[in-house]
């Protein structure tokens, strides 16, 4: 469970100062070992998941975290950052790199009890690729040319060589002909969906016919607590067993309760995301001026006593082979330089700037509060508008009706493409309206690269373009503090924003 950044020594000292992480302490009065009899776990979520539970169209990171336990693709991610066979028992890739072959795992079942067939796999991949509609549900699947099955072998042919397409085949395999995924999803994962009450909870139960080792905990209830005080009240009352995205001050408040804490990062890029199509943010010199006004160290100090990892482009440290820590220093904190650039851009007296922030995520609100002060220092009148999460999804992400917003952006697959494709001019996920012909050209070269070394260099070039063009005001991979019931073990972190419930178990505790 190491989401620990390069400042591991600082993190360790900080953790030891506030809490004792190692070992489990018991509240048992008789001093003897005992097994807990509980078989239900309660997880706190600071935001609700998408309205639709269809795995092929969900957008929110919280949805992926929850439904990771319900759905599986032909392959699935591992904590080490690799891919392991899932619905497929094995796979191979042609030497030409444009044909992927998968052998269906024998005896694997959907949550409704039906056996998974090769036809289900063909249907699922074809659906994501939009072979019937002409519009792929996931952009990376636009290269799929044909999906066929012969007995239990499924072949996916692509229109071009793509050495990282396998990373996207974590896309969920779902039953052919089942049309209720949006409201009652059915997958093959270790947990099956039970029910959902919007803005209240999502309930999952162990799938007894799971093809691999069954989950230990029988029932998991995700409680939606999008009010900070309500979330903290639940934690203080110890009615939650797991909760992530806590702040250092919240951890300190909970340190004497029955929680262990994991300190790491969230595997996302927090930034002030700019609508590049709206004046004055369509002016690159304005964006560069604002970049010089951002003091990351102050923001990180306010949020988590300096914990977290600074970033300078749209990549986070867990993607180690792509990550470029030096880009965080591209724009030095320099108020006078920021003012001079603003004046050169035609805004000597600044301008008004609105920052839209989801109201359910305190770190983003606190970040925006510091940014307001930093913008004011260079003559910009910045204000904050709080909106509910669903409003943010529809109006900001969907309709792109905003000037700036503070949010964290993560990856949906273990590839740099999942972080960078959203900045191509024709991407449906390009909520910042970034439009740069050089970026589009380099991206096209990156996804068709013939070897990993070449591709890494091209993805790094894309990051430099985003930095040099000041596409957004990049801040950090946020510090992530996770509170876990001291009677629960097995937590592991992934390079993606995921919670793997199947690894968790209630354990023996010692007095």
- How far is residue 191's CA from residue 171's CA, in Å, rounded to a whole number? 17
**pLDDT tens figures, 344-355:** 999 999 999 999
What are the C-alpha distances in Å from 82 to residues 14, 170, 413? 31, 12, 11
Note the pLDDT of residue 296: 97
Buried b (16+ CB within 10 A) or exposed e, 286-322: bbbbbbbbbbbeebbebbbbbbbbbbbbbbbbbbeeb
pLDDT-based confidence at 415, cuts 50/70/90?
confident
Q: How is residue 366 written in tokens?
A: 């606190």
Residue 56 has pLDDT above 90, yes or no: yes
In angstroms, how far is the first alpha carbon of the chain from the final one? 25
Note the pLDDT of residue 509: 58
Lowest mean pLDDT among 20-34, 248-262, 457-471: 20-34
- How far is residue 370's CA from residue 354's CA, in Å, rounded to a whole number? 14
**pLDDT tens figures, 69-111:** 999 999 999 988 889 999 999 999 998 889 999 999 999 999 9
Strand extents, DSSP E, 9-66: 34-35, 40-45
Task: Judge whether 73 and 169 are in contact, CB under 8 Å.
Answer: yes
- In eight-state DSSP terms, residue 258 is S
Q: What is the mean pLDDT of residues 312-317?
A: 96
Residue 15 has pLDDT above 80, yes or no: no
Higher pLDDT, 368 or 318: 368
Q: What is the mean pLDDT of residues 4-26?
A: 37
- Highest mean pLDDT among 25-29, 33-37, 122-126 belongs to 122-126
- In eight-state DSSP terms, residue 289 is H
- How far is residue 349's CA from residue 380's CA, in Å, rounded to a whole number? 8
pLDDT-based confidence at 161, cuts 50/70/90?
confident
Residue 59 has pLDDT above 90, yes or no: no
**Percent of the chain topping pLDDT 70:** 92
Q: What is the DSSP string of 379-398?
A: T-EEEEEEE-HHHIIIIIII
Residue 443 has pLDDT above 80, yes or no: yes
CATH 3.90.76.10-classified regions of the chain: 71-170
pLDDT-based confidence at 510, cuts 50/70/90?
low
∠ at Cα 403 (329, 471), nearest 5°? 30
DSSP reduced 3-state for 34: strand
Higher pLDDT, 360 or 111: 111
The CB-based long-range contact list for 438-443 (8 Å cut-off, 24+ gap) reads 438/465, 439/465, 439/466, 439/469
Count of other CB atoms within 10 angstroms of residue 237 = 9
CATH 3.40.190.10-classified regions of the chain: 34-50+189-264+484-509
Strand extents, DSSP E, 340-446: 352-358, 381-387, 404-409
Note the pLDDT of residue 450: 75
- How far is residue 504's CA from residue 511's CA, in Å, rounded to a whole number? 21
Q: What is the DSSP string of 140-198?
A: GGGGEEEEEEETTEEEEEESS--TTGGGGGGSPP--TT---TTTS---SSSEEEEEEET
Residue 312 has pLDDT above 60, yes or no: yes
Residue 2 has pLDDT above 60, yes or no: no
Note the pLDDT of residue 457: 97
pLDDT-based confidence at 46, cuts 50/70/90?
confident
Topology given in CATH for the domain delimited by 34-50+189-264+484-509:
D-Maltodextrin-Binding Protein; domain 2 (3.40.190)
- In eight-state DSSP terms, residue 242 is E
Lowest mean pLDDT among 41-50, 100-109, 187-196: 41-50
DSSP reduced 3-state for 43: strand
Q: What is the mean pLDDT of residues 378-393?
A: 95
Q: What is the DSSP string of 105-142?
A: PTT-B-TTSPBP-HHHHHHHHHHHHTTTTS--SSGGGG
Partnered with residue 309 across adjacent β-strands are 477
**Percent of the chain topping pLDDT 90:** 75
- How far is residue 427's CA from residue 280's CA, in Å, rounded to a whole number? 23
Note the pLDDT of residue 224: 94
Residue 497 has pLDDT above 60, yes or no: yes
Q: How is residue 234 written in tokens?
A: 């639940």
| CATH dotted code for 71-170 | 3.90.76.10
User: Which residues make Cβ contacts (< 8 Å) with residue 135, sequence separation at least 6?
Assistant: none
Count of other CB atoms within 10 angstroms of residue 63 = 21
Residue 144 has pLDDT above 60, yes or no: yes
- How far is residue 401's CA from residue 398's CA, in Å, rounded to a whole number? 8
Q: What is the mean pLDDT of the chain?
A: 90
CATH 3.10.105.10-classified regions of the chain: 269-477
Domain 269-477 of CATH type 3.10.105.10: yes
């Amino acid at each position: 469970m190491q989401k620990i950044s390069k400042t591991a020594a600082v993190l360790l000292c900080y953790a030891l100062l506030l809490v004792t992480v190692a070992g489990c302490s018991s509240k048992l009065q008789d001093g003897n070992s005992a097994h807990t009899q509980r078989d239900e776990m309660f997880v706190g979520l600071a935001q609700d998941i998408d309205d639709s539970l269809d795995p092929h169209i969900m957008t929110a990171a919280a949805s992926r975290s929850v439904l990771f336990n319900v759905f599986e693709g032909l392959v699935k991610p591992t904590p080490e950052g690799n891919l392991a066979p899932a619905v497929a028992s094995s796979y191979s890739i042609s030497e030409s790199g444009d044909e992927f072959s998968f052998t269906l795992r024998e005896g694997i079942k959907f949550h409704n009890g039906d056996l998974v067939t090769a036809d289900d796999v063909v249907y699922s991949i074809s659906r994501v690729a939009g072979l019937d509609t002409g519009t792929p549900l996931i952009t990376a699947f636009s290269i799929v040319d044909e999906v066929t099955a012969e007995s239990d072998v499924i072949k996916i042919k692509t229109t071009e060589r793509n050495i990282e397409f396998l990373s996207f085949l974590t896309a969920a395999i779902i039953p052919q002909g089942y049309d209720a995924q949006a409201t009652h999803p059915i997958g093959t994962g270790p947990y099956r969906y039970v029910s959902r009450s919007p803005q209240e909870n999502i309930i999952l139960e162990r799938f007894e016919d799971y093809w691999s080792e069954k989950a230990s905990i029988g029932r998991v209830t995700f409680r939606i607590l999008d009010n900070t005080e309500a979330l903290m009240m639940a934690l203080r009352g110890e009615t939650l067993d797991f909760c992530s995205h806590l702040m250092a001050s919240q951890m300190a408040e909970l340190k004497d309760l029955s929680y262990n804490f994991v300190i790491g990062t969230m595997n996302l890029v927090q930034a002030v995301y700019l609508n590049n199509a709206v004046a004055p943010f369509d002016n690159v010199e304005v964006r560069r001026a604002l970049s010089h006004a951002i003091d990351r160290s102050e923001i990180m100090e306010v949020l988590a006593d300096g914990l977290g990892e600074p970033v300078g482009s749209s990549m986070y440290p867990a993607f180690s082979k792509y990550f470029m820590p030096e880009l965080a220093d591209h724009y030095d904190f320099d108020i006078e330089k920021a003012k001079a650039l603003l004046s050169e851009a035609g805004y000597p007296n600044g301008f008004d700037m609105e920052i839209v922030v989801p109201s359910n995520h305190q770190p983003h609100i606190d970040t925006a509060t510091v940014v307001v002060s930093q913008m004011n220092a260079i003559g910009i009148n910045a204000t904050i508008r709080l909106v509910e999460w669903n409003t943010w999804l529809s109006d900001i992400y969907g309709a792109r009706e905003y000037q700036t917003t503070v949010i964290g952006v993560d990856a949906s697959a273990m590839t740099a493409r999942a972080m960078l494709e959203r900045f191509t001019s024709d991407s449906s996920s390009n909520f910042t309206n970034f439009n740069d012909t050089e970026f589009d050209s380099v991206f096209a070269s990156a996804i068709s690269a013939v070897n990993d070394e070449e591709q890494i260099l091209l993805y790094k070039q894309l990051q430099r373009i985003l930095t040099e063009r000041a596409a957004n005001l990049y801040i950090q991979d946020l510090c992530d503090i996770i509170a876990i019931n001291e009677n629960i073990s097995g937590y592991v972190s992934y390079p993606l924003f995921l919670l793997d419930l199947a690894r968790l178990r209630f354990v023996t505790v010692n007095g």
